[in-house]
Amino acid sequence: MFTQQIINGLTLGCIYALIALGYTLIFGIIRLINFAQGEMSMVGAYIAIGITILLSKYGLLSENLLLTLPLIFVITITGCSLLGILVELVAIRPIRNSPALDALITTLGISIILQNSFMLLFGSNNKVFPSIFFQDSLFIRNAQISYLQIFIIGLSIVSMIILHIFINKSKLGRSMKAVSEDKVLANLMGININSIIRNTFIIASTMAAISGIMLCMYYGVARYDMGFIPGIKAFTAAILGGIGNIPGAVLGGVLLGIIEGLCAGYISADYKDVFSFILLIIILIFKPQGLLGEKVSQE
Amino acid sequence: MLKKFAISALAIFLLLSCAKKEKVIKIGGVGPLTGSQSEVGQDLINGEKLAVEEINASGGLLGKKVVLVSMDDKADPKEAVSVAHKLVSDSQVIAVIGHLNSGATLPASRVYHQGGMVMLTPTSTNPKITKQGFKNVFRACITDEVQGPLCADFAIDKLSKEKFAVLHDKTAYGQGIAEQFTKKVIDREKSLLLFEGITEGDKDFTAISTKIKNLNPDLLFFGGAFPEGGLIIKQARQLGMDATFMAGDGCFAPEFMKIGGNASEGTIISFLASPWEEKESAKEFVAKFKKKYGVVKTYAPYGYECINIIAKAIKAAKKAERGALLGAMSDPNFYYEGILGNTQFDNKGDTKNKELYFYVVKEGKLQLCK
């Protein structure tokens, strides 16, 4: 049972970690907590379900997994990225130089707008994602791991590694780091701040899109308010690991998922959320900068 | 001159509004019309609409037109109270059919009680609702005190199960029915392996499913609604739990099978009525409903029946007024013979008609257990 709970928690934790990466990236660049991050993954889930419904209409869905799955990912990521660009352009850029609280409130506004417009457009009932991908399971000792869980964990790790290499090795990634250290100086060095911020939103939206597809594949359903709870949990994970710190977001997400799984499994499902937030409070009291965070005192 | 004109205009306006006021009888109809349980809420209100249309087509009540004021409580207790205040403050509304969820009905019933308005809940099964000592509260369905133990008896006698695990969603309905089920299991000296709550709206039940699988019960009973029920059985089966899954009427909805997929096969679900299509008294209603709104999903017949119960009581009261209606409904000899059979209220306001039916999910459809 222990192995099983660890695997359940790890799967959930990987999804949290992907959303948390979005929080941390945006915070790292412009010191802003983008509360619409969870809703981004909801939009991703809706796009993914839309494509599968469209594909199944033309009978193309189950023919070739290697073809349909990348197609779903590419379209969903594109859609979410466009939305991310739009959000940055409309809600963040005009008030970038206002106090941090203003932008925080606009992101909350965006999250409410997205939730409610999706409810009005597509109704408030559960949308069902056809369970066609990775339905079989694997047995390791007495734990049962579905291929879907392996896929989710694997893909999360791959995305995180790609992100890590991208940030540290590519020119764009290093420019992002430069902007996060000092905006004015980076600008003097010829870095276009606007384009860097836009690219950060694209990357954060991509992570959210991937997590959205995973959420609706894993649970088989999507609803307009599905992004809210994972969004809050991922925010917790980002704080837990140290907001602004990329490995910290991953560690925070995975840790939170596993703790939830173990608490629900060994103590009581009633108190699942209680324990994860108690952990957050303890971390904030004894290590306010998070597990891997640097000291950023003024925040 | 202007003053005179203003006064006469005001007088005419008042007269007109008075006249208008006298011509209609308003009945409130409340349920979750949006939100995750909108499917069953809409179905309930459609049933009510059909009954109101029929009454109006045959000349209304006491010579007045009946208007259904349908309101949305989103299955949320807070929303339910504010809807109840709205209805009570409109003096033309003389009765309310609602609410659908026990969690919403409980706090709202106090507001209707203060307003002296008849509240007839079509589907809320929590026993507390009629135990508050409110004379205005009536119920057209059975309570969990009947449903929970009957479910347990069915599991023990018909399915011969010995070891039980019980989950609930911590709502007034879910926890209520789960507690009643558990009580009967313990009374009959069967073993109870687990009794735990989950959070309504949560999507991840893998941890608790793993725990249940390892306890290896014969039967898992869930007290709660279909959005969580569908996900629980799906995730539990994925993890290899092979116990029979059983749920109360909260999971009796086509969406349960849609969410659960293949995993929902073999689930036993209790419901307050036998299949409407097969019920002699309901055949006419089903045909009429189908023409107008499509297939009966869950609670439409309850909505239809409740409007007709109120209509009969208004006729007996001979006055479209809250107090008179309450008097007529409280008369121990009051009864209504309709599609649910004979409805007669006991001194607490509960129906004396107590039946429960069990369904099994077969090939994605709910079929009556024989």
Which residues 122-151 of A have a C-beta within 8 angstroms of B? 123-126, 128, 131, 137, 144, 146
Which residue, B260, B157, B178, is CA-closest to B222?
B178
The pLDDT tens digits of the residues spanning B296-337 come to 888 899 999 999 999 999 999 988 899 999 999 999 889 999
Mutation for testing the B interface, residue in A41, A125, A136 having most B CBs under 10 Å: A125
Contact A260, A14 (CB under 8 A): no
Which residue, B329, B300, B212, is CA-closest to B29?
B300
B137-139 and B268-271 beta bridge pairing: unpaired
The residues that bridge with B264 in the sheet, in sequence order, are: none
Is B200 in CB contact (< 8 Å) with chain A?
A: no
Contact A219, A42 (CB under 8 A): no
Q: Do A144 and B199 touch (CB under 8 A)?
A: no
Helix axes B102-114, B172-187, angle to 10 degrees: 110
Which residue, B153, B169, B210, B209, is CA-closest to B75?
B169
Cβ neighbours around A264 below 10 Å, total: 29
Question: Could you confirm whether domain B145-271 is CATH 3.40.50.360?
Answer: no
Instruction: Give percent helix, percent strand, percent coil of chain B, each to the nearest 5.
Output: 50, 20, 30
Give Cβ neighbours of residue B279 (< 8 Å, ≥ 6 apart). Answer: B273, B339
As a whole number, mean pLDDT of residues B43-64 equals 92
Phi and psi at residue A225, to the nearest 5°? -100, 15
Residue whose tokens read 């060994």: A266
Q: How far is A204 from A224, CA to CA, in rounded Å?
A: 20
- Tell me, what amino acid is at B315? K
Q: Do B204 and A131 touch (CB under 8 A)?
A: no
Query: A with B: how many residue pairs have Cβ under 8 Å apart?
Result: 92
Domain boundaries, chain B: 2-142+280-344, 145-271
The pLDDT tens digits of the residues spanning B182-196 come to 999 999 999 999 999
Q: How far is A132 from A62, CA to CA, in rounded Å?
A: 7
Q: How far is B166 from B181, CA to CA, in rounded Å?
A: 8
The residues that bridge with A8 in the sheet, in sequence order, are: none
Q: How far is A134 from B297, CA to CA, in rounded Å?
A: 32
Is A192 in CB contact (< 8 Å) with chain B?
A: no
Give the fold, CATH level 3, of A2-286: ABC transporter involved in vitamin B12 uptake, BtuC (1.10.3470)
* Least confident interval from A290-294, B165-169, B341-345: A290-294
Mutation for testing the A interface, residue in B43, B206, B216, B256 having most A CBs under 10 Å: B206
Structure tokens at A63: 């023919």
Which residue, B169, B267, B213, B190, is CA-closest to A270?
B169
Q: How far is A252 from A241, CA to CA, in rounded Å?
A: 4
Is B34 in CB contact (< 8 Å) with chain A?
A: yes
E-only strand ranges, B177-276: 191-197, 219-223, 244-247, 268-271
Mutation for testing the A interface, residue in B193, B203, B242 having most A CBs under 10 Å: B203
Give Cβ neighbours of residue A253 (< 8 Å, ≥ 6 apart). Answer: A13, A14, A15, A16, A17, A18, A19, A20, A234, A237, A241
DSSP letter at B61 equals B
E-only strand ranges, chain B: 24-31, 65-72, 93-97, 118-121, 137-139, 163-168, 191-197, 219-223, 244-247, 268-271, 335-338, 341-344, 357-362, 365-368
Q: A179-209 burial, b for 16+ CB within 10 Å, e for fewer?
A: bbeebeebeeeebebeebbbbbbbbbbbbbb
Contact B69, B29 (CB under 8 A): yes
Contact A230, A19 (CB under 8 A): yes
Phi and psi at residue A296, to the nearest 5°? -115, 90
Q: Diameter of chain A by CA atoms?
A: 60
Q: How far is B305 from B29, CA to CA, in rounded Å?
A: 13
pLDDT at A63: 61
Q: Do A219 and B204 touch (CB under 8 A)?
A: yes
pLDDT at A297: 44
Q: Do A124 and B36 touch (CB under 8 A)?
A: yes
A261 vs B198, B201, B207: nearest CB? B207
Residue whose tokens read 């983008």: A34
* Least confident interval from A259-268, B47-56, B244-253: A259-268
| pLDDT-flagged residues of chain A (< 50) | 297-299
B18: pLDDT strictly greater than 60: no
Q: How far is B73 from B84, CA to CA, in rounded Å?
A: 9
Q: How far is A93 from B282, CA to CA, in rounded Å?
A: 62
pLDDT at B13: 60
Give Cβ neighbours of residue B229 (< 8 Å, ≥ 6 apart). Answer: B222, B247, B250, B251, B256, B260
Phi and psi at residue B244, to the nearest 5°? -65, 140
Structure tokens at B173: 């309905």
Structure tokens at B231: 């996900």
Is B217 in CB contact (< 8 Å) with chain A?
A: no
As a whole number, mean pLDDT of residues B44-49 equals 94
B2 pLDDT tier (thresholds 50, 70, 90): low
More confident residue, A68 or B155: B155
pLDDT at A44: 95
Contact B96, B117 (CB under 8 A): yes
Residue whose tokens read 């900068």: A289
Q: What ipTM describes this predicted complex?
A: 0.83
As a whole number, mean pLDDT of residues B174-180 equals 93
Contact B164, B223 (CB under 8 A): no
- Tell me, what amino acid is at A139? F
The residues that bridge with B31 in the sheet, in sequence order, are: B72
**Distance from chain centroid for Cα B5:** 52
pLDDT at A79: 96
B2-142+280-344: CATH homologous superfamily?
Response regulator (3.40.50.2300)
Q: Do A265 and B201 touch (CB under 8 A)?
A: no
Positive or negative: CA dihedral A176, A182, A183, A188: negative
The pLDDT tens digits of the residues spanning A110-132 come to 999 999 999 889 887 788 888 77
Q: How far is B196 from B165, CA to CA, in rounded Å?
A: 9
Using a CB-CB cut-off of 8 Å, the residues of chain B touching A268 are: 196
Domain boundaries, chain A: 2-286
pLDDT at A274: 85
Structure tokens at B123: 């589907």
Helix axes A228-241, A37-57, angle to 10 degrees: 130
Is B210 in CB contact (< 8 Å) with chain A?
A: yes
B218: pLDDT strictly greater than 50: yes
B93-97 and B118-121 beta bridge pairing: parallel
Which residue, B148, B122, B127, B146, is CA-closest to B246?
B148
Residue whose tokens read 């679900």: B269
DSSP letter at B269 equals E
pLDDT at B9: 64
Query: For residue A263, what is the nearest residue in chain B, using CA coordinates?
Result: B207
Phi and psi at residue B266, to the nearest 5°? 85, 0
Structure tokens at B51: 């009954």
Of how many residues is chain A composed? 299
Q: How far is A43 from A224, CA to CA, in rounded Å?
A: 8
pLDDT at B16: 56
Contact B73, B32 (CB under 8 A): yes
The pLDDT tens digits of the residues spanning B82-128 come to 999 999 999 899 999 989 999 999 999 999 999 999 999 999 989 89
pLDDT at A299: 41
Structure tokens at A96: 């970038």
